[in-house]
Amino acid sequence: MTEAPPSEAPLVEIRKLRVDFPNPAGFTQAVRGISFSLGREKLGIVGESGSGKSVTGRALMRLLPGSARVQAEALRFDGIDVLAASERQMRALRGGRIGLIMQDPKYSLNPVMTVGRQIAEAWLAHNKGGRKEAREAALSLLEQVRIRDPLRVLDSYPHEISGGMGQRVMIAMMLAPNPDMLIADEPTSALDASVQAEILKLIEELVSARGMGLMLISHDLPLVSRFCDRVVVMYAGQVMEELPARDLHRARHAYTRGLLDCMPSLSAPRPRLPTLTRDPAWLEPQR
């Protein structure tokens, strides 16, 4: 018998995270005591709309509005206590060590700055070099995310590119500073199937090659099961189950099963899609 090696501290540690938003009648409990950790691996977070996936990701980056009440026994990134860190420490994490690829590119791209300049600035903030190198790096990043016409896109404004191109630009921008971790919040839901697969393969390659951690937030269960190592299934601010991604199709929880069943299928079309019958027991505090 050999001694177990000292367990490496996880990149992300979340224990009993709660997030409440004030409303006129009291508080909306967006996240209700969830716990999970993330190493240099690919973790998928699935669950229906409003289940608290994005709020969880944003809490980790301390990007929630000041009105939000965030409590946790532990909320750490690489040992840094996110709830206690200084604003300066947080700025170094955001857009530096942690890249956030958002659900909606138009929302996070600056509308009055060309795409090329935005990527170049992200690169300059964390790399040594001049304007010329930055522009070259931006061009290379656009090529890496497989923009077909990178020179034109470099000088385009965000409203001049399609939704899918905007999403790829966001990914290029987030990769510019060489982050340790990516939080990808619905990174490909605006992309066509072929680009979606390409982008996720790209993210997967980059994550493995650079030894990054990935938190992939998505409502697309087949996609998550294909690209992640582990999956956390959320409902109404709680974790319903956690399982290896490749076993997703064998999920036991009725909620997860319901989600799998209500997708339209190309090979087996049905006139009507089954919808989810929500069991009140799922709202009870889990374990």
Ligand X SMILES: Nc1ncnc2c1ncn2[C@@H]1O[C@H](COP(=O)(O)OP(=O)(O)OP(=O)(O)O)[C@@H](O)[C@H]1O
219 binds ligand X (CB under 6 A): yes
- What, of another protein, Mg ion, ligand X, none, does residue 258 touch, CB below 5 to 8 Å by kind? another protein
- Residue 96 to residues 42, 76, 90, 138, 230, Cα–Cα distance (Å): 19, 16, 9, 16, 25
Residue ranges in the chain assigned as alpha helix (H): 53-60, 87-93, 105-108, 115-126, 131-144, 150-154, 163-175, 193-209, 221-227, 254-261
According to CB under 8 A, which residues from 110 to 149 bind another protein? 148
Nearest-angstrom CA–CA distance, 176 and 125: 9
Q: Which residues of 173-193 are buried (b: 16+ CB within 10 A; e: fewer)?
A: bbbbbebbbbbbbbbbebbee
Could you tell me the smallest distance in angstroms from the CB atom of residue 105 to another protein? 9
Nearer to another protein (CB atom), residue 163 or residue 211: 163
Q: Which of 54, 188, 218, 256 binds Mg ion (CB under 5 A)?
A: 54
Stretch that binds Mg ion, among 10-18, 50-58, 139-147, 266-274 (CB under 5 A): 50-58
Stretch that binds another protein, among 5-13, 80-88, 134-142, 273-281 (CB under 8 A): 273-281
> Residue 286's closest CA among 231, 248, 241?
241
According to CB under 6 A, which residues from 153 to 172 bind ligand X? 159-165
Could you list the residues that contact ligand X (CB under 6 A)? Answer: 21, 28, 30, 47, 49-55, 65, 103, 159-165, 192, 219
Q: Which residues bind another protein (CB under 8 A)?
A: 21, 23, 47-51, 54, 103-104, 106-107, 148, 160-165, 168, 186, 189-197, 219-223, 226, 249, 258-259, 262-267, 269, 272-276
